[in-house]
Amino acid sequence: MSLKQKYKKAEDNNNKLSNLRPLPEETLKSLKAYYRVGLTYSSNALEGNSLTESETKIVIEDGLTINGKPLRDIYEAVGHAKAYDYLWELAVNKLLKEEDILLLHRFFYEMIDSDQAGIYRKIPVFISGGEFPVTPADKIKQEMKNFVKWFNQSENQLQPVEFAALVHKKFVFIHPFIDGNGRLARLLMNLALIRNEYSVALIPSILRPEYIRSLELAHTNDEPFKEFIADRAIETQKDLLRLFKKTSKEIDSAGGEKLGGVNSGKFSGAGVERHGGVNCEEFGGADVGRHGGVNCEEFGGVGVERHGGVNCEEFSGADVGRHGDIIREEFGGVNYEEFGGAGIGGLDDSNPLPGMIFELIQTSPGLNAPKIAENCGIGLRTAQRYLKLLADNGQIEFIGAPKIGGYCPKTEKII
């Protein structure tokens, strides 16, 4: 399968996951906790942390230490879980800031070395087994400014899985901190996926040789690394789809009640061990691979819904979509020429959103993007992405000034 085909497969899987919405509130909570453990375990294991996944769960959920385990391993687990929690606060419709990355590192590294937490390194470092040098200490500040600028400019121009891989690559090549750069790179990679309504992607420790080899090769050819990350994203989605499918079948055979295809009781209190996405473990009666996660969260007790991944968050009353192009703050409407259009599905029968949006525009012409998103019950970015798709397809056009105009069905002009 070519890289382009893998991106298409990831997009198709993402559309299937979007059809599972809305999920029960308890399911959302338990899935977030489930992958909080999974991502913390797998990312730390790649760096040699000795905690098993069961031990990781005990440390970050129960607040207990593990007899005979190094304190640093405990601190890494607790710190990574805190950074994971903060990751969701960054998954909002706003530009990424350099301070966000510094704080993300502070959350992870505070218990290990508070003097170095959230501080760019001031000394040179060398990567064992690596042929290529990382950014010199005196150039880190500027390189990180460039990285953040690139992130914000490229987020809506690149296919989401490709963008996530490049985020990882660019950050880890800078290597801005004294320690924890690999874990920060994987957190930022998953932030890129979450902000585009994709599931998180876990890298199991058993794949470490392939992971490191493709990352080192990315200095001269990043296609193998892009393929590696695409594979991890696809496995995440496949495991999640299998999980929901098997759970749904079990409910059908038991005569139970379906809640969006999922019985929330199946997911609560799962104290299972996952082995980096390789072995399948029992999770509430469902055999699933531990390759990834789901971008469906609840914040501050608010039941939330994500369109384009599985669910989309609501922050302070603002419905924020993760699967489209960013709207410029000064526009009440949307000039679709402002947007790049990478990585979206076509107008096919499997995805009802384009048809729903087009029908709304036909019956109520002149609506701007926020109103369309509100009427369709979808996120703003999701609406923007499909509006661009419909416009590119010649079905709609934006008429009027950006602040006061709206979308209308496109009609042929008689000359």
> Would you give the DSSP letter of residue 302?
B
CA distance 137 to 125: 9
State both tokens at 27. Answer: 């399911």
Q: Is 275 assigned a catalytic role?
A: no
* Cis geometry, peptide bond prior to residue 22 (ω within 30 degrees of 0): yes
Tokens 């690139």 locate to 150
Q: Please count the CA atoms within 13 angstroms of the CA of 330 that sit on its side-chain side.
A: 3
Backbone phi and psi for residue 231, each to the nearest 5 degrees, phi listed first: -60, -40
Q: Please count the CA atoms within 13 angstroms of the CA of 139 that sit on its side-chain side.
A: 11
Q: What does the DSSP assignment read for 190-211?
A: HHHHHHTTPPPB---GGGHHHH
Strand stretches in 259-409, DSSP E: 281-283, 286-288, 314-315, 318-319, 396-399, 406-409
Tokens 């977030």 locate to 32
Amino acid at 244: F
- Longest alpha-carbon distance in the chain: 83
Q: What does the DSSP assignment read for 30-92?
A: HHHHHHHHHHHHHHHHHTT----HHHHHIIIII----TTS-HHHHHHHHHHHHHHHHHHHHSS
**Bridge partner list, 318:** 315
Rounded (5°) CA angle 86-261-42: 35
Check 175, 275, 291, 307 and give the catalytic one. Answer: 175
Tally Cβ neighbours within 10 Å of residue 351: 21
Q: 192 and 158 in contact (C-beta within 8 Å)?
A: no
Contacts of 325 (CB under 8 A, 6+ apart): 156, 338, 339, 340, 341, 381, 384, 385, 388
Catalytic residues: 175
